[in-house]
């Protein structure tokens, strides 16, 4: 048994270090493709800054469109990362260890991209500064800035704290065999970690503090984002459910993104032994549970709105169910909510491929749901005018592609700098837990990792 | 020679800075006569009007006048825009307003100025009396503690913990037993 565990550890070390040691041509091809899309996005952004937001499909009567839908979508994606990671750590779920790193990376990348889409939506970039200079604290937009910055910094701290032992592990294992810049990065950011009892104590305090803190901060962030809508005088957004609706939706779509990322990393980095079907199944159950919660929220919202039919709600429901927005709504409902639950529920589709399909469907559905919230809410005329129409232009699609490329690029760079799984946590796991075998003392882990306890 | 160039540059800069202010000072100041009844019952629609006239008393048409009043939200007093209207041939701009709070408030009309006339703001008091409105908001409506201080306290709490964590990072860097000479190289 000891020998088997030792072999498993050896393979874990090799598998987690291999992507940091070698880079194939496919990776460079991916980076090049991403940079090309981002460069195109930069050109389009300057074009938009020069010509004004008139080059988008947005107009005075429908002033929020694809950018704000994507902002909400990526804010949602960021939720699951830190939230799921923190909840799994707090509950000491043994299966969390190969999952948490992916989740935390998604959070950081998604928050950066979410902030980008706000910048795109503002139009003139100098107006970002106005939010700070002239922003009034009574406005939910300003609360969102407080929330976003607090959440981003907290997520970075949380991600970084959990990385320190792994950075030291990489530093000690790869040493001189990598370029000087990478060596410097690992050396500087591992903070001289050698796994002394004091260092473990301090790290433990940081992780406990942050995991407890990040749950309310993440909930606050998403609730405040929902208030941008719920506190605006537009009937479709007039719902006290919006806060919890956004939090639920965020965990739902974010879990889907984690599943997709884990599947890609598992395949590309050959981590099948460590990221097993069990991990996908557990995340699939979480996703299915939140799909049911979302169905409940939607039913609750539509039934109460439809019963009262206040103001223009009849027009809103008509547009949503049978009007111009109906294709989006029914795709979201059947494809993004019902079908993923069916995939998770059926034993023969509950496998890695099936769950990745479900996760993709969930994210397409949730993007459409964000679009329905933003554009659907703006759809109702406040004055006796016809219903405004909105179609995103090539400028908006280009910046959407650029934003998504930035998201992938951040993660692609991260997986070349740090292990894709929390290796130190996996090496520390007590007897009978996890995927490294049945029994092994922690001392073995220390020995295996040359001082990292 | 250099001194002369510097002096010329300084004089040009001063002129450039002063010229907009000088141009503004030369613009004639129009008249903005605010037509607001001195008192109105709460909940009753009323008209807030303003006449925009040139210094000679002739109407200025086609210009936007913005009307506002003060409003309080969560213990913070600010300006609340009632609406904007464009002056007609008589120089008249007007909007409808429904006062919702009993008490004294101020109605303000503002003309932002144009190429010819300087900007101007005029105010007039409005006494809002008890009425038959079905909805009345007593002033001030306050939830104790629900103001900017609450936000500051909450955010300070979170950021203080971030600061504490940063200190712990520093302590981690001090608590290692790795010889300094080995830093950067393999162990």
CATH topology of domain A2-447: Formate dehydrogenase/DMSO reductase fold (1.20.1630)
Of B76, B161, B174, the CB nearest to A209: B161
Q: What is the pLDDT of residue A446?
A: 40
Check CB contact under 8 Å for B158 and A154: yes
Tell me the pLDDT of chain A averaged across its residues: 86
Is the CB of residue A110 less than 8 Å from the CB of residue A78? yes
CA-to-CA separations, A201 to A194, A208, A411, A413, in angstroms, rounded? 13, 11, 30, 30
DSSP B14-79: HHHHHHHHHHHHHSPP-EEEEE--SEEETT--EEEEEEEE-TTS-B--S-EEEEEEEEEETTEEEE
Q: Dump pLDDT digits (tens) for A245-275.
A: 899 998 899 889 989 988 998 998 888 888 8
Segment holding A100, helix H or strand E: helix A97-122
Q: What is the pLDDT of residue A430?
A: 54
**Contacts with A, B 11-70, CB within 8 Å:** none
Q: What is the pLDDT of residue B105?
A: 87
Hey, which of A307-316, B16-25, B79-88 has the most confident mean pLDDT? B79-88
Number of H helices, E strands in chain B: 2, 8
Q: Which residues contact A445 (CB under 8 A, 6 or more apart)?
A: A9, A427, A428, A452, A453
**Smallest CA–CA distance from B74 into chain A, residue:** A138
Q: What is the pLDDT of residue B186?
A: 38
Of A138, A196, A205, the CB nearest to B74: A138
Residue ranges per domain, chain A? 2-447
Please determine, for residue B111, whether its predicted confidence score (pLDDT) is greater than 80: yes
pLDDT band at A297 (very low <50, low <70, confident <90, very high): very high
pLDDT band at A70 (very low <50, low <70, confident <90, very high): very high
Q: Looking at the complex, does the CB of residue B151 fall below 8 Å from at least one CB of chain A?
A: yes
Listed range (A314-318, A424-428, B124-128) with the worst mean pLDDT: A424-428
Q: Dump pLDDT digits (tens) for A334-391.
A: 999 999 999 999 999 999 999 999 999 999 999 999 999 999 888 887 776 778 889 9
Check CB contact under 8 Å for A150 and B183: no
CA-to-CA separations, A221 to A69, B62, B74, in angstroms, rounded? 16, 45, 21
Q: Looking at the complex, does the CB of residue A204 fall below 8 Å from at least one CB of chain B?
A: no
Rg (CA), chain B: 29
Q: What is the pLDDT of residue B98?
A: 86
- Which of residues A332 and A443 earns the better pLDDT score? A332
Q: Looking at the complex, does the CB of residue A187 fall below 8 Å from at least one CB of chain B?
A: yes
Q: What is the pLDDT of residue B73?
A: 65
Q: What is the DSSP letter of B137?
A: B
Q: What is the pLDDT of residue A450?
A: 39
Please determine, for residue A192, whether its predicted confidence score (pLDDT) is greater than 60: yes
Q: What is the pLDDT of residue B181?
A: 46
* CA count, 13 A, side-chain hemisphere, A265: 34
Q: Looking at the complex, does the CB of residue A198 fall below 8 Å from at least one CB of chain B?
A: yes
Chain A hits for B186, CB-CB cut-off 8 Å, are 171-176
Segment holding B124, helix H or strand E: strand B120-129
**Smallest CA–CA distance from A186 into chain B, residue:** B184
Query: d(Cα A224, Cα A115) in Å, to the nearest integer?
Result: 15
Three-class HEC string of A146-204: HHHHHHHHHHHHHHHHHHHHHHHHHHHHHHHHCCHHHHHHHHHHCCCCCCCHHHHHHHH
Q: Looking at the complex, does the CB of residue B161 fall below 8 Å from at least one CB of chain A?
A: yes
Q: Dump pLDDT digits (tens) for A2-13.
A: 566 667 778 888
Most B CBs within 10 Å, among A138, A169, A193, A220, to test the B interface: A138
Query: d(Cα A264, Cα A52) in Å, to the nearest integer?
Result: 38
Q: Looking at the complex, does the CB of residue B181 fall below 8 Å from at least one CB of chain A?
A: no
Please determine, for residue A431, whether its predicted confidence score (pLDDT) is greater than 80: no
Check CB contact under 8 Å for A192 and B178: yes
- Which of residues A405 and A85 earns the better pLDDT score? A405
DSSP A17-61: HHHHH---HHHHHHHHHHHHHHHHHHHHHHHHHHH-GGGSS-BTT
Once rounded to an integer, what is the mean pLDDT over residues B29-57?
89
């Amino acid at each position: 048994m000891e020998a088997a565990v030792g072999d498993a550890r050896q393979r874990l070390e090799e598998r987690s270090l291999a992507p940091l040691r070698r880079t194939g041509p496919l990776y460079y091809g991916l980076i090049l493709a991403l940079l090309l899309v981002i460069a195109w996005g930069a050109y389009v952004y300057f074009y938009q800054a020069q010509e004004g937001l008139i080059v988008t499909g947005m107009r005075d009567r429908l002033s929020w469109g694809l950018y704000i839908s994507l902002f909400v979508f990526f804010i949602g994606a960021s939720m699951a990362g830190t939230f799921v990671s923190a909840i799994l750590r707090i509950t000491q779920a043994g299966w969390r260890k190969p999952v948490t790193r992916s989740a935390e990376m998604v959070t950081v990348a998604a928050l950066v991209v979410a902030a980008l889409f706000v910048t795109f939506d503002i139009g003139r970039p100098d107006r970002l500064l106005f939010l700070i200079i002239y922003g009034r604290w009574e406005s939910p937009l300003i609360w969102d800035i407080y929330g976003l910055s607090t959440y981003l910094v907290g997520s970075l701290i949380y991600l970084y704290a959990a990385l320190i032992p792994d950075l030291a592990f990489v530093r000690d294992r790869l040493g001189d065999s990598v370029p000087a810049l990478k060596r410097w990065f690992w050396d500087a950011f591992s903070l001289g970690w050698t796994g002394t009892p004091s260092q473990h104590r301090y790290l433990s305090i940081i992780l406990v503090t942050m995991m407890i803190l990040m749950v309310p901060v993440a909930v606050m962030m998403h609730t405040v984002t929902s208030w941008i809508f719920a506190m605006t005088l537009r009937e479709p957004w007039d719902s006290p459910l919006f806060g919890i609706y956004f939090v639920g939706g965020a965990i739902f779509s974010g879990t889907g993104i984690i599943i997709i990322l884990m599947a890609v990393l598992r395949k590309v980095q050959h981590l099948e032994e460590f990221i097993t079907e069990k991990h996908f199944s557990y995340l699939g159950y979480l996703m299915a549970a939140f799909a049911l919660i979302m169905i409940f929220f939607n039913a609750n919202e539509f039934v109460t709105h439809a019963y009262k039919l206040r103001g223009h709600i009849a027009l809103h429901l008509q547009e949503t169910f049978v009007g111009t927005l109906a294709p989006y709504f029914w795709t979201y409902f059947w494809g993004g909510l019902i079908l993923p639950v069916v995939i998770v529920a059926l034993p023969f589709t509950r496998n890695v491929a099936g769950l990745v399909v479900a996760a993709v469907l969930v994210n397409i559905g949730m993007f459409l749901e964000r679009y329905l919230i933003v554009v659907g809410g703006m759809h109702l005329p406040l004055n006796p005018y016809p219903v405004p129409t909105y179609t995103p232009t090539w400028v908006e699609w280009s910046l959407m592609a650029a934003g998504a490329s930035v998201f992938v690029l951040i993660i692609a760079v991260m997986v070349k700098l740090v292990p894709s799984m929390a290796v130190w946590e996996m090496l520390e796991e007590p007897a009978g837990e996890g995927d490294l075998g049945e029994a092994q003392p922690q001392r073995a882990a220390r020995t295996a990792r040359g001082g990292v306890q | 020679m250099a001194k002369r160039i510097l002096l010329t540059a300084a004089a040009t800069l001063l002129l450039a800075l002063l010229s907009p202010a000088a141009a503004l000072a030369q613009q004639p100041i129009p008249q903005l006569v605010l037509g607001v009844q001195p008192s109105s019952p709460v909940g009753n629609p009323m008209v807030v009007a303003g006449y925009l006239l040139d210094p000679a008393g002739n109407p200025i048409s086609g210009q936007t006048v913005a009307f506002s009043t003060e409003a309080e939200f969560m213990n913070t007093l600010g300006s609340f825009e009632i609406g904007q209207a464009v002056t007609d041939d008589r120089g008249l701009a007007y909007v409808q307003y429904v006062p919702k709070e009993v008490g004294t408030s101020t109605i303000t009309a503002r003309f932002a100025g144009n190429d010819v006339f300087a900007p101007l703001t005029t105010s007039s008091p409005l006494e809002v009396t008890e009425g038959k409105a079905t909805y009345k908001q007593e002033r001030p409506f306050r939830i104790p503690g629900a103001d900017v201080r609450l936000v500051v306290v909450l955010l300070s709490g979170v950021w203080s913990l971030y600061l504490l964590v940063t200190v712990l990072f520093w302590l981690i860097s001090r608590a290692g037993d790795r010889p300094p000479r080995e830093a950067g190289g393999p162990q």
